[in-house]
């Protein structure tokens, strides 16, 4: 199964900033809003497919190994959907940041996250330096 974010990124044109263009101006905000809305739509379509699949393919197999295989498949699919549900929540939070003019700035230090980083991870809330530092701290704490 293809990563939803990767499939989304194949369908958009990277933002081309104009010379002396202000960071996170309305054109940039609209660019990222479009990416996030499309990503959310793809996730919601996946949810619909999962519901349909679970309803249509649910069978009561007589063979315990067949039943176990189906339960494992459903369990994996539900875990994937749970991760996507959390991602949908993060997308909604990010869309709220765009609306409140807070998008594109590091939550820790306040500097610009950068257009290319945001295109790679539209829900990024930390600049690369703060993210790297957070990952180092996480490793040290053994989480």
17 part of a folded domain: no
90 part of a folded domain: yes
127 part of a folded domain: no
79 part of a folded domain: yes
Residue 91, Cα to own-chain centre: how many angstroms?
6
CB contact at 8 A, 114 and 127: yes
In the chain, the number of structural domains is 1
67 is in which domain, residue-wise? Answer: 4-11+22-104
Which range, of 23-27, 76-80, 84-88, averages the lowest pLDDT?
76-80
CATH assignment at residue 83: 1.20.120.910
Three-state DSSP at 51 gives helix
Q: The whole model's pTM is what?
A: 0.77
116 part of a folded domain: no
Instruction: For residue 69, give Cα distances in angstroms to 54, 72, 74, 80, 124.
Output: 14, 5, 9, 17, 37
Q: In this predicted model, what pLDDT tens digit does every residue of 47-76 receive, in sequence order?
A: 777 776 666 666 666 677 777 777 787 788
124 part of a folded domain: no
Q: Which helix (H) or strand (E) holds 130?
A: helix 128-141
Nearest to 54 by CA among 35, 69, 74: 74
How does the average pLDDT of the chain come out, rounded?
86
Q: In this predicted model, what pLDDT tens digit does every residue of 21-49 receive, in sequence order?
A: 999 999 999 999 999 999 999 998 887 77
77 part of a folded domain: yes
State the Cα–Cα distance between residues 29 and 23, nearest whole angstrom. 9
pLDDT at position 41 is: 93
118 part of a folded domain: no
């Amino acid at each position: 199964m293809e990563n939803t974010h990767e499939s989304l990124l194949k369908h958009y044109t990277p933002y081309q900033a104009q010379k002396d263009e202000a960071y996170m101006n309305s054109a940039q905000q609209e660019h990222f809003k479009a990416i996030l809305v499309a990503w959310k739509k793809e996730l919601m379509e996946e949810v619909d497919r999962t519901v349909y699949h679970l309803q249509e393919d649910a069978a009561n197999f007589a063979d315990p190994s067949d039943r176990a295989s189906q339960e494992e498949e459903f369990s994996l699919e539900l875990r994937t959907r749970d991760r996507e549900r959390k991602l949908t929540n993060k997308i909604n939070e990010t869309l709220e940041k765009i609306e409140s003019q807070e998008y594109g700035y590091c939550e820790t230090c306040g500097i610009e996250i950068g257009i290319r980083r945001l295109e790679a991870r539209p829900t990024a809330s930390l600049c690369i330096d703060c993210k790297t530092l957070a990952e180092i701290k996480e490793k040290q704490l053994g989480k």
